[in-house]
Every structure is written in C-alpha cells, then in structure tokens.
Amino acid sequence: MSKLDLVMFEEEFKQLQDIIGRLQKDASAKVVFLVDKNGQQIASAGEVQSIDATSLASLTAGNVAATDGLAKLIGEKEFSLLFHEGEKDNLHISIVGKRGILVVIFDQGSSLALVRLRVKKASRELQEIFERVETRANEESGPGTKFESPFSEITDDDIDKLFGD
Amino acid sequence: MTFINYASREINCKIVYYGPGLCGKTTNIQWIHEQANPEKRGKLVSLATETDRTLFFDFLPLDMGTVKGFKVRFHLYTVPGQVFYDASRKLILRGCDGVIFVADSQRPRMEANIEAIANLATNLKDNGFDIRTIPYVLQLNKRDMPTAEKVDEMERLLRFRNEPMIEGVASQGVGVIETLKACARQILMELQRS
Ligand SMILES: Nc1nc2c(ncn2[C@@H]2O[C@H](COP(=O)(O)OP(=O)(O)O)[C@@H](O)[C@H]2O)c(=O)[nH]1
Ligand SMILES: [Mg+2]
C-alpha cells in the first residue's frame, strides 16, 4: 500500500457522516457530498437519489484539480472556494484539509451567506477527523504495526472471479 | 490512492489509460462500457471537444464484484493525448493506482509512443510515483492496421520493465478486458504487501 492510501474505519466514517448530515440540515441545503480530491465519494446527505453521485465526485475533483492548476499558474497556493450559480440550484465547493472536498447544493431555500457560515464550522470538524485518520495511518505504516490487512491472501482465483471467469 | 472503506466495505481503485493522441484510449473504455453489465457500470463521462477529441478526461466507474468480502470498484480515466494538454494529463494521474499505456502500432507513430512514455515518467514523478514500480501494463493497440510495426520491434522500443504486454484491436474489443485485468491483478496484489 502506498503512503497515500486512505483507510477509513467504521467509527470515523460514522463521524464524517454525522457532520455531513448536520451540515445539510443546518444550511438548509438540498444535498451535501464529501468527496476525495482524487474523485471518490466519501459520504453524502440529503436528496442524493436525484443525482449521479459518482459522476459528480469525479467531475468535482477534476474541477478542483484544474482550478488548483490555475492557482499555481498565477502564484496562488490554491483557491479554497468555488461557487457556481445556476438559475435554480447553486453549487458551493470548498476544500477541507489536504484531501477533502465539500460540495453543497442549495436553492433559494437557503443563501450563500448561510451556507458559507455552516460550511466553515463543518470544515473544522471534518479536518480534525481527517487528521486523526492520517496520524493513525502514519503510525500503522511504521514497523511492528498491528493492523492486519484483510487482503493478505488474494489469489489469482479471486481476480478471475472479479472478471467473471 | 486506493480508498479502502471499512464501513461500507468497499475498495476503490483509480486506473489511468495513457498514450499518444488517437492511439485508442477512449475506444478501450467505450468498449468496456458497452460490454459491462448495465447494473455494474456507471455513466461514461466524456469531457470532449466537438470533434470527439478528449479535452480533459473520460471517466467510467465500474463495480467489479467482491474480494474478501469487499466490493471492488474501478474508476477508469483516460487522458487527452495531444501534446499541449500536458497540464491536464498531470492532474489526472493524481492519486492513481495503476497505469495502462496504450501504444499505437502504426509504424509512423513509434516516435509519438516513445515520447508519451517519457512524458508519463515525468508526470508520474511529479505526482510522487515511479514508473518503474507502479502497477503498469503495455497494450499494443491497432494490431489490425496494415502499417502495424512488428511486435518484436515494438517490444524492443517500448517495453522497459518486463510489464505485461498485450496485443489489442480496441475498436473490436480484442485485448481490452485482458489489459484491464492485467492491471487490476497488479493493483490488488499490491494491497497484500501493505
Ligand atoms: N483500426 C483501428 N482503429 C482503432 C483501434 N482503436 C481505436 N481506433 C480508432 O482510432 C481513433 C482514435 O481513437 P480514440 O479512442 O478516440 O483515441 P484516443 O485519442 O487515444 O482517445 C478512432 O477513430 C478509433 O475508432 C484499433 O484497434 N484499430
Ligand atoms: Mg480520447
């Protein structure tokens, strides 16, 4: 496993889920997604069925990556916030820590000011959890680790099965 | 970056198709999309120009089934091949778990293949990866073309680490799944060594 691997356990995942759920209610948002900078969805809350979450995660990460590239070009570290205003729905995208992206979709039932305020608070809480995950990952990658990977005995058969033969 | 979620028991792996412009990267994942069980595949997202050239990336999520009780999901990306999209290519490699290099077998494209591998090495390095160790597969595509270079010669020019080398005709689906599988095998085997 590379040093970049993200391993998330039940308890941390539940905490993330709780924060996202609370943010969605407090900000009167339609949907909130927590996405990894590499394009994978981590958690969500609200009317998620109405949206293709996987595509959303990938495109958001692409968008943030492209914007990061733009920032570097003009000598900024990053743009920590992206806002897209639509006719009905608005998209509020912000960076959480080193690897998280928070996506909030809201309509006239909320406001940019409210979303901003609530996102700020949630971001701080999310960041704490991310840091904990990272610290643990660093400790476990050291020698004498206790963490037992469930993938220690993958066989060719397992892989053949994945491909249906 | 493999994302292992113990709560939902999922493993997510990112695989990037790399290669010179028009070598058949998009065709590879289009074939996979057409073949996949509609329940297991997500939507194919293509950020393309009006003339169907990849502008930023193509993206296809695939649910593969389970390994050791974990749902395995692949996220397949292709990069834009044209030289001037280098900044975008670098971004797409961010956090990848494996790379499939699609080489164009047509003789006049050998130079472009070689340049693209050199470019891949640089862009992987800038993302903190090593082209000599990351899960990697070489696909020799367009074997059906009359101007296709001999396999031996392509191997001599393009193969550099004893990686799996697979002959393909992506437009007819030949070698496409085999290529993906060769990459998936390396990625999942890598998880054991954690
Ligand atoms: N003859 C032949 N044509 C191919 C093959 N694979 C792809 N093509 C064609 O090559 C062109 C470029 O393919 P595309 O997948 O868009 O290339 P990309 O730039 O690498 O994404 C398209 O017209 C494809 O139909 C192949 O194996 N044989
Ligand atoms: Mg393409």
pLDDT per residue as tens digits for the range B138-148? 999 999 999 99
Phi and psi at A72, nearest 5°, equal: -60, -40
Out of B17, B18, B22, B167, mutate this one to test ligand 1's pocket (max ligand atoms within 8 Å of CB): namely B22
CB B15 within 8 A of CB B75: yes
For the CA of B80, the nearest atom of ligand 1: 19
* Model pTM score: 0.84
CA distances from B161 to A81, B132, B136, B156, B181 (A): 42, 7, 9, 11, 18
Q: Give how far A29 is from chain B: nearest CA, Å.
A: 24
Spell out which residues of chain A touch residue B194, defining contact as CB-CB under 8 Å.
1, 5, 149, 151
Residue count of chain B, please give it: 194
pLDDT > 50? residue A1: no
pLDDT band at A141 (very low <50, low <70, confident <90, very high): low
What range does the domain containing A77 cover? 10-146
Q: Is the pLDDT of residue A6 over 80?
A: no
CATH number assigned to the domain comprising residue B61: 3.40.50.300
- Examine residue A151 and state whether it is found in any structural domain, yes or no: no
Q: Is residue A158 part of a domain?
A: no
The verdict on a CB contact (< 8 Å) between B67 and A151 is: yes
Contacts of B54 (CB under 8 A, 6+ apart): B25, B26, B46, B47, B48, B78, B79, B80, B81
H/E stretch holding B10: strand B10-18
Is position A1 within any domain?
no
Pair A7, B6: CB distance under 8 Å: yes
| CATH number of residue A114's parent domain | 3.30.450.30
Domain that holds residue B171: 3-193
Domain assignment present for A126? yes
Percent with pLDDT over 70 in chain A: 89
Instruction: Check if the beta carbon of residue A59 is closer than 8 Å to that of residue A51.
Output: no
Which of A87-91, B75-79, B187-191 has the lowest average pLDDT?
B187-191
With 90 as the cut, is the pLDDT of residue A147 above it? no
Residue B186: the pLDDT is 94
Q: Which amino acid is at B67?
A: V
Characterize A138-157 residue by residue with b for buried, 16 or more Cβ atoms within 10 angstroms of its Cβ, and e for exposed: eeeeeeeeeeebebeebeee
Nearest to B77 by CA among B127, B14, B119: B14
**Lookup: tokens for A83:** 């806002």
ipTM: 0.75
Q: How does pLDDT run across B171-182, given as a tens digit for each residue?
A: 999 999 999 999
| pLDDT computed for residue B58 by the predictor | 87
User: Looking at the predicted structure, is the pLDDT value of residue A7 above 50?
Assistant: yes
pLDDT at A146: 47
The predicted model gives A24-38 an average pLDDT of 93
Q: Residue A39 — pLDDT band, cuts 50, 70, 90?
A: confident
A116: in domain: yes
B78, pLDDT greater than 50:
yes
Strand-pair partners of A101 = A35, A95
> Among A107-111, A144-148, B179-183, whose mean pLDDT is lowest?
A144-148
Query: Domain count of chain B?
Result: 1
Residue type, A65: A
Number of domains chain A contains: 1
Residues in chain A whose beta carbon is closer than 8 A to a beta carbon of chain B?
1-2, 4-10, 13-14, 36-40, 42, 52, 54-55, 58-59, 62, 65-66, 68-69, 149-154, 156, 158-159, 161-164
The answer to whether B123 touches B89, Cβ cutoff 8 Å, is yes
Summarize pLDDT for B113-152 with one digit per residue, the tens.
Answer: 999 999 999 999 999 999 999 999 999 999 999 999 999 9
**Predicted confidence band of residue A3 (pLDDT cuts 50, 70, 90):** very low
What pLDDT is attached to residue B187?
A: 93
Which strand ranges, in their side-by-side order, compose the sheet holding A100-106? Answer: A41-46, A31-36, A100-106, A90-96, A81-85
Q: Report chain B's terminal Cα–Cα distance, integer Å.
A: 13
